[in-house]
Chains A and B, each alone.
Chain A
Amino acid sequence: MSASERGWGGRRRQALISVLSWPPAQRKERTGNRNAEIMAGKPKLHYTNGRGKMESIRWLLAAAGVEFEEEFIETKEDLEKLRNDGSLLFQQVPMVEIDGMKMVQTRAILSYIAAKHNLYGKDLKERAWIDMYVEGTTDLMGMIMYLPFQPAEAKEKNLALIIERATARYFPAYEKVLKDHGHDYLVGNKLSWADIHLLEAILMAEECKPDILSAFPLLQAFKGRISNIPTIKKFLQPGSQRKPPADEKFIAHVKKIFNM
């Protein structure tokens, strides 16, 4: 029998097996053209041109190798228009147009993307651990995100609290997870939403205190490893859709739009 008649045997099978061992995003790049036809266009993100609650969504899409469009809310009128259009289920952003839905609520959007792109573990229990880990990093990043919106007098105290929580509550927990199982990733020995979210949290925490990982050697290695995944590496480079930390001017701008 000739090689071409062997069908799924031999080299084709080996190629398939090797492709299946790639991280989801790389695999998609090679085999995803069919998927691109099936999907109803790129996801479209509606938010201000800054991090806020949308940043984790940008991270997850980027890590999954999903191209997305962004429509920025620049003025109060932009927000009103979205509200009046009936596009915002609870009058709030983030809102992501994806697969025929206008999704709102950050966690709902993230869960959907994670599941859709195989970043949510292989079963209910793995999903439970991913959810737990993500909730921890959400709490930490939430503290950091709201820091610029706190009154000036409270900023120093809150920054100290963030550093304390990061180094005494959250990072020790993730360091221990990695230590206990000795794997490269947090859950199921495979890249998941939890890893992407943790990297995002680490980088945000380092913006608060550059040596914040000094007591956590496994997290340092983790950071290096995850940052090197091709899709994530690309997202971390200048010119990507990753947003910079908010400055005073941007905070004032956002407060105006949302009447804060």
Chain B
Amino acid sequence: MSEKPKLHYFNGRGRMESIRWLLAPAGVEFEEEFLESREWYEMLLQDGALLFQQVPMVEIDGMKMVQTRAILSYIAGKYNLYGKDLKERAWIDMYVEGVRDLMDLIRVHHKLSPQEQQKNLALIGEKAATRYFPVYEKILKDHKDDFLVGNQLTWADVQLIEAILTVEEKVPTILSEFLLLQAFKARVSSIATIKKFLQPGSQRKPPTDEKAVAFTNRIFNRR
């Protein structure tokens, strides 16, 4: 069989975290090579290993894949987390993209100044509670299945539970109005592979803090 996928990124969540999340429920073991310094990043660049000079990069099945969405789609397709036909895939794509918009608000949070963070926190809470979570609550209500699409676990469910847990870190009461999402969260968290990923010692990364932001700024030469 092919070797384990190898993830190239810094030792933190960022854009790679969704990829770690998707590999985990599929029960796929993976290795990680952390960018520890600017020199390391430049070495990758010089090797021509980064198609658009960017990470995440995942070595998988003989490819050096870049672009988060492309990597996630490939993993979902490969491990049967992408529905059974074109229409199911369409719904999964729509649900995943919706969640991604919410996750992007959180991902940039620690790059902001303290005042901007206050505003961003309010925005995250507002968007989660009025634009995104009501949609997923309604989907679950309308079909009464355990999962978002096609009555089986898909990428959409994994992306949603990642989003729920990540938003809860910032806004702990965010699910108070969403009973079906609470049940969804409990149900999906107890799936064996996901449960394992949620335990200490897994490759899941802790929330990004200021130190991590300063570190990545240094590596990527950001002002």
Chain A residues proximal to chain B, CB less than 8 Å:
89-91, 99, 101, 103-108, 111-112, 115-116, 124-125, 127-129, 131-132, 134-136, 139, 169-170, 173
Select one of A107, A127, A136 contacting B93, CB under 8 A.
Answer: A107
Tally the A-B contacts, defined by beta carbons under 8 Å.
Answer: 78
* Also in contact, A136 and B67, with CB within 8 A (given A91-B131, A124-B77): yes
Q: Which has the most chain A C-beta neighbours within 10 Å: B61, B70, B135?
A: B70
CA distance A132 to B54 in the complex (A): 12
Q: Which has the most chain B C-beta neighbours within 10 Å: A91, A103, A135, A169?
A: A135
Which chain B residues border A101 with CB–CB below 8 Å? 87, 90-91
Contact (Cβ within 8 A) A90 B61: no
CA distance A104 to B77 in the complex (A): 21
CA distance A173 to B66 in the complex (A): 12
Which chain A residues border B94 with CB–CB below 8 Å? 89, 103-105, 108
B120 CB within 8 Å of chain A: no
CA distance A188 to B52 in the complex (A): 20
* Also in contact, A131 and B69, with CB within 8 A (given A89-B94, A90-B131, A107-B97): yes
* Also in contact, A128 and B63, with CB within 8 A (given A89-B98, A101-B90): yes
* 0 or 1 for each of B35-46: is its CB under 8 Å from A? (1 = yes): 000000000000
* 0 or 1 for each of B161-189: is its CB under 8 Å from A? (1 = yes): 00000000000000000000000000000
Contact (Cβ within 8 A) B93 A132: no
Select one of A90, A99, A132 contacting B101, CB under 8 A.
Answer: A90
B51 CB within 8 Å of chain A: yes
* Also in contact, A127 and B77, with CB within 8 A (given A90-B98, A169-B52): yes
B53 CB within 8 Å of chain A: yes
Question: What DSSP secondary structure best describes chain A's contact surface?
Answer: helix
Contact (Cβ within 8 A) A124 B78: yes
B74 CB within 8 Å of chain A: yes
Contact (Cβ within 8 A) B61 A139: no
Which chain B residues border A104 with CB–CB below 8 Å? 94
Which chain B residues border A103 with CB–CB below 8 Å? 90, 94
Contact (Cβ within 8 A) A139 B52: yes
B86 CB within 8 Å of chain A: yes
Select one of B89, B98, B132 contacting A111, CB under 8 A.
Answer: B89
Which chain B residues border A136 with CB–CB below 8 Å? 51-52, 67
Which chain B residues border A135 with CB–CB below 8 Å? 67-70
Beyond A105-B93, A105-B98, A125-B63, 7 extra complex contacts between A and B, CB < 8 Å = A90-B101, A111-B89, A125-B61, A128-B74, A132-B66, A132-B70, A135-B67
